[in-house]
Chains A and B, each alone.
Chain A
Amino acid sequence: DGGITQSPKYLFRKEGQNVTLSCEQNLNHDAMYWYRQDPGQGLRLIYYSQIVNDFQKGDIAEGYSVSREKKESFPLTVTSAQKNPTAFYLCASMQQGPGELFFGEGSRLTVL
């Protein structure tokens, strides 16, 4: 089935550790996105990428890093510089803008 796969679903991390969230899509979409969602809140854009080897900062990029080495993959690293990393992270992809954006099932990160 075509779709977006995020892993892991749940992740626990100690303060000061970096953690990488995986996002893979087999929809052959050009653009991929990372959003952060806090309890009871909307979606905030962290980073996005329109093509391989290129990406742009979103509204809340500080403390995060990404790479886009392959069209189907867009991993997000939450670094120790992110002051409040506990959140629900959503990966999404789109064929071309402004079109239909499809989301993965999300990864919940908890910092202990």
Chain B
Amino acid sequence: GQQLNQSPQSMFIQEGEDVSMNCTSSSIFNTWLWYKQEPGEGPVLLIALYKAGELTSNGRLTAQFGITRKDSFLNISASIPSDVGIYFCAGGTQGAQKLVFGQGTRLTINP
């Protein structure tokens, strides 16, 4: 099935650093979603975006819906140890009943 191109695949950073990851597609999406998954748990929705150009924050997290509707990025500022996990992007198109997911970005933080 279709997949989004999510990068980077993994990140190793120091505590306190800012993090940036993105998702790109050759197709247009009407919805972009960002999830975080911790080991042994289900993904948790962090941010949902519904309009091209939309910039939305959730605490230290900021996500943007690309103006071309073919990409989205997620930034985490001042990372802390509990930010460790796998971050997934997902895109949805009008009329479609299923989302398309990226392969995930695994974030590791050195204290």
A residues whose Cβ falls under 8 Å from a Cβ of B: 4, 6, 31, 33, 40-45, 48, 50, 58-59, 88, 90, 92, 94, 97-106, 108
Contact = CB atoms under 8 A, between A and B. Distances in A.
A99 B42 contact: no
A98 B3 contact: no
Interface of B: 1, 3, 29-31, 33, 35, 40-45, 48, 88, 90-99, 101-104, 106
A98 B97 CA distance: 6
B104 A42 contact: yes
Nearest to B35: A103
B92 A98 contact: yes
From DSSP, what is the main secondary structure of chain B's interface residues? loop
A33 B99 CA distance: 10
A43 B101 contact: yes
Contacts, number: 66
A31 B92 CA distance: 14
Contacts of B35: 103
Contact of B31 (A58, A59, A99, A108): A99
Nearest to A37: B37
Contacts of B94: 98
Given A43-B88, A45-B1, A97-B92, A103 B98 contact: no
Contact of B40 (A44, A50, A102, A108): A108
Given A43-B101, A98-B31, A101-B45, 19 more contacts: A33-B98, A42-B3, A42-B88, A42-B102, A45-B98, A48-B97, A48-B98, A58-B98, A59-B1, A92-B42, A97-B95, A98-B29, A98-B30, A98-B93, A99-B31, A103-B42, A104-B42, A105-B42, A106-B40
A103 B43 contact: yes
A42 B90 CA distance: 11
Contacts of B45: 100-102
Contacts of B104: 42
A95 B95 CA distance: 13
A99 B88 contact: no
